[in-house]
Structure 1
Amino acid sequence: MSDTYQLASYPSLRGKRVFVTGGGTGIGAAIVSALAEQGALVAFVDIATEASEVLCRKLADAGLPKPVFRHCDLRDIAALQKDIAEIAEQIGDFDVLVNNAANDERHKLEDVTLEYWDNRIAINQRPSFFAVQSVVPGMKKKGGGSIINFSSISWHSSSGGFPVYTTAKSSVLGLTRGLARDLGPHKIRVNTVTPGWVMTERQIALWLDEEGKQSIKRNQCLQGELLPWHLARMVLFLASDDSLMCTAQEFIVDAGWV
């Protein structure tokens, strides 16, 4: 992150308990880091064990609250819910949930089998619901909370090449709006963050070519790279007390992709 930016601090996040899915790399790692910098106690799950452990050590070495990490394959809902329950028992009920984890593997309509469909949904859709189910009782006891679900600009922009992924990511808005109505009486707010094409290491390695660079230049109103920390800053706002009356909304961070 450039030192030229003067970014906000969120005192209300200090001491908050936060659970993040897919927090070991990419956008997730930026979210975990940003929350730790605000003094939050972060727990996260990921399948990338080595990268996750490195992140935890890096933050602890910087004098920040060391995150709690568990290896978890989100396709195993029982394991996910067990991890959430055990960590909550260890550090306290969660104030914030960030449903970040996803996998945008490319695929063609004609190649999708029922098995592949179920596998993609098990990664990109199903865990968000059951993570919410797990943290809500604790949020109710605490008198409120913030749930942040991640979607994708891909379905907004009619992007092709991964129809099961866009199906899953478009459904996030329905999950957010329905839960916002049900959980509002408990002072639990539910919002969606929708990233544009974020330049994570994975995106650069797998998908960014010269054609992609030209597409970014042509489609983004704001020129330059959209980076993981840009998304993390939106998460900080929605996790904090500053967003106290924001719920059922979609917050798009895409540099004005048109």
Structure 2
Amino acid sequence: MTAPYRPRYGATYPSLRDRTVLITGGGSGIGAEITRHFAHQGTRVGFIDIAVPESEALVAELKAENCEVLFQNVDLRDIAAVRAGIDAIRAEFGPITLLVNNAAHDQRATIDEITPEFWDDRQAVNLRHQFFCAQAVYKDMAAAGGGAIVNIGSFAYIAGVEGLTPYVAAKSGVIGLTRGLARELGPHNIRVNCVLPGWIMTQRQLDLWVTPEVEAEIFKRQCLKRKIDPADIARTILFFASDEAGACTNQSHVVDAGWT
């Protein structure tokens, strides 16, 4: 039985029902809300994450709501493990025709703290796996007559954020990756777009960075004087994954309340 429509998840997209989506970093933060939104479209959701307690709790929550969801505990820096996790999702839910490359980590470091090893690790965490996930699923999409990939970038690449140079470099690379994949996969009717979130009020951001002073600065810079929450990003991703965005590819869409 597929999950019933629930108003908190916004618009319904019939083209997402009964398809299989792979979501990276789908167990917590923005990723968990993306997982919830796809699950409540009636999509079969396979997600990869290293956050085991949070991911297992999310699976229990969604299964109690009659959603189809499968969690794979995988470190995205290990490409062999990524491929094995994707194979397990495919074996459970069938061909993967939707991909959301969400996983990332915005660890701070000053210029003098950055070592070659740290730099390479940040690229592996924030950029490299996006290509290899696309590589692992695009043949499913081509065989099905098409599919959609949504890569998650960051407004930080445009705005520039102090202490985040490796992250900003990786997120700018996501734009280039999106454009390259869109050109290569277009002949297979596979659309590739990028969503660039602004400062999203995840629990991690609230715990670590969003002081009253920071919140005041955010509202000063944003055109819209409100907080952006993970659902704002999830709903945008649903649109680009759906057939309603059937002529949209090779694009980058910023969701930052007008900051940039």
TM-score relative to the length of structure 2: 0.95
* Residues 43/129 of structure 1: CA separation in 2 closer, same or farther (3 Å cut): same
User: Does the residue aligned with 2:47 lie in a helix, a strand or coil?
Assistant: strand
Counterpart code for 1:85: D
Whole-Å Cα distance in 1 between the matches of residues 68 and 149 of structure 2? 22
| Structure 1 unaligned regions, length at least 5 | none
Alignment pair present for 1:50 and 2:33: no
* Amino acid in the other structure paired with 1:253: V
How far apart are 1:85 and its partner, in Å? 1.8
- The percent identity for this pair of structures is 47
| C-alpha distance in structure 2 between counterparts of 1:151 and 1:183, whole Å | 19
Cα separation, 1, equivalents of 2:7 and 2:136: 40
Q: 2:117 aligns with which of 115, 118, 121?
A: 115
Structure 1 residue aligned with 2:12 = 9
Listed one character per residue, the Cα deviations across residues 123-146 of structure 1 (whole Å, up to 9, x for unaligned) are 011100100000011111111000
CA distance in structure 2 between the aligned counterparts of 1:6 and 1:162, rounded to whole angstroms: 32
When structure 1 is superposed on structure 2, of 9-18 and 81-90 the one drifting more is 81-90
Deviation, 1:73, is 0.7
Residue number in structure 2 paired with 1:21: 24
Q: Which amino acid aligns with 1:10?
A: Y
Secondary structure of 1:53's aligned partner: helix
Read off the aligned partner of 1:160 and give its amino acid letter: E
Find the counterpart in structure 2 of residue 165 from structure 1. Answer: 167
Alignment of 1:55-94 (within 5 A): 55-63=58-66, 65-94=67-96
Deviations 1:206-256 (A, max 9, x none): 111122111111011111110000000001101111011100001111111
CA drift of 1:7 comes to 3.0
- Which whole-Å CA distance do the structure 2 matches of 1:97 and 1:115 have between them? 29
Match of 2:248 in 1: 246
Aligned position for 2:136: 134
Q: Confirm or deny: 8 A CA contact 1:57 1:66 kept in the other structure.
A: no
Alignment-derived partner of residue 178 in structure 1 = 180
Q: Report the AA paired with residue 172 of structure 2.
A: S
Amino acid at match of 1:45: I
Distance across 2 between alignment mates of 1:227 and 1:77: 30
Contact 1:19 1:98 in 2 (8 A): yes
SS in 1 for 2:196: strand
| 1:213-252 aligned within 5 A | 213-252=215-254
The alpha-carbon deviation at position 66 of structure 1 amounts to 2.9
Tell me: CA distance 1:181–1:70, structure 2 relative to 1, closer, same or farther (3 Å): same
Runs of 4+ in structure 1 over 2 Å off: 3-7
Partner of 1:35: 38
**Distance in 2, Cα, partners of 1:78 & 1:209:** 40
Alignment partners' CA distance in 1, 2:58 and 2:89:
18
Amino acid at match of 1:81: R
1:54 match: secondary structure: helix
CA distance in 1 between partners of 2:7 and 2:114 (Å): 46
Q: CA deviation at 1:5?
A: 7.6
What TM-score, normalized by structure 1, do the two folds share? 0.96
Residue of structure 2 in register with 1:200 after alignment? 202
Counterpart of 2:145, as a letter, is G
- Measured against aligned partners, the alpha-carbon deviations of 1:68-112 in whole angstroms (never above 9, x if no partner) come to 001011111110011112221221111100000000011011111
Output the CA distance in 1 between the equivalents of 2:8 and 2:46: 27
